[in-house]
Amino acid sequence: MSDERSMLGRAFLVLGSFTSSHLRLSQSELSRRTGLPLPTVHRLCRQLADCGALERAADGRYEIGVRLWELGALAPRAHGLRQVAQPYLEDLYEATRENAQLVVREGLDALYLERLSARGAVSVVGRAGGRLPLHASSGGLVLLAFGGKELLDEVLAAGLERFTPSTITTEHRLRSTLDDIRRTGWVVCREHLNLGTLAVAAPVSRSTGEVVAAVSVVVPAAKDPAALIPAVRAAARGISRRVA
C-alpha cells in the first residue's frame, strides 16, 4: 500500500508541475520541477499519457490531457455549482458587460470556477481554472472572511504578498476588512490585484449559513461601485437559494 501511495504521489507531483504559465513541459523540465529522477519521470509520463492524463505534443513535450478535464468536470463542487450559478453570472455579465466571476476556496487560494468576459472588458489577472491569493482578490477576501480563525491564521503565517500599492499587506487592515465584509455582506477592492480595476464581491451560502463560494465582478477602476453592489449581491443571493 505504501508503494501504491508513493506512485500516486509521484504522479501528482508531475501533474502539479503544470501551471497557467507552464502549459507544456519536457521530461527534463518535469524532472527539475518535481525533483524526481529522469528515468522515473520518463516512466510516469508514459503511464500518464497511456491513460489520457497527459498528452505528448509534436515537439516531444507534455501537456495536460483532456481526460483530466473530463474527470474534473464531474467534481460536484465545481460542476454542480457552475451549473447553478451560470444563469446568474450571465445576468451579471449582461448588466455590466465586463467580467463576472464565480470563486471557491482551495487551500490558501481563490480558485476561479467560471469567468464571463465581454470583448473589450477591462483586463484582469488570472483565468477560469486559475488561482489567486485569498488576501488580494475580492472573492478571496469574501471566502477568507467566512473561513474561520484557523484559515486566517494560515494566511497570515504564509505572508501577505503585495501586488499593487493598494494590496492589503498588514494584519490590522486585513482583519478590519474582513470585519466589514461580515457586517455588510460585500466588499469593494480598488486596484488590490492589478492597476486600473475595481472588483465587487459577495458570498454564496447554503441554507445552513455556510459560505461555499463568492460572486464577483471586475470593472474599470474609475467606475462607481454603488450601482454594482446590489447587482452582485442579487446574483449571490440567487445562487444561494439554489445551492444544495
Q: How far is it, in rounded angstroms, from Cα 181 to Cα 187?
A: 6
Q: What is the pLDDT of residue 3?
A: 43
64: left (phi over 0), alpha (psi -120 to 50) or beta: beta
Fold of 2-71: Arc Repressor Mutant, subunit A (1.10.10)
Q: Domain locations in the chain?
A: 2-71, 76-242
Say whether pLDDT at 81 is over 80.
yes
Instruction: Pick one of 3.40.50.10700, 3.40.50.1000, 3.30.450.40, 3.40.1190.20 as the CATH number of 76-242.
Output: 3.30.450.40
Q: What's at 78, amino acid-wise? A: A
pLDDT in tens, 225-240: 999 999 999 999 999 9
Q: What is the pLDDT of residue 37?
A: 93
Mean pLDDT across the stretch 37-62? 92
pTM of the complete model beyond 0.85:
no
Q: How far is it, in rounded angstroms, from Cα 233 to Cα 132?
A: 22
User: Band of the pLDDT at 68, cuts 50, 70, 90?
Assistant: confident
Residue count (the chain): 244
Task: Give the torsion sign (CA, 149, 206, 129, 78).
Answer: positive
207 grid coordinates? 441554507
Q: What is the pLDDT of residue 26?
A: 95
Q: What is the pLDDT of residue 131?
A: 82
Say whether pLDDT at 4 is over 50.
no
pLDDT in tens, 82-127: 888 999 999 999 888 888 999 999 899 998 888 887 776 676 665 5
Q: What is the pLDDT of residue 119?
A: 72
User: Band of the pLDDT at 2, cuts 50, 70, 90?
Assistant: very low
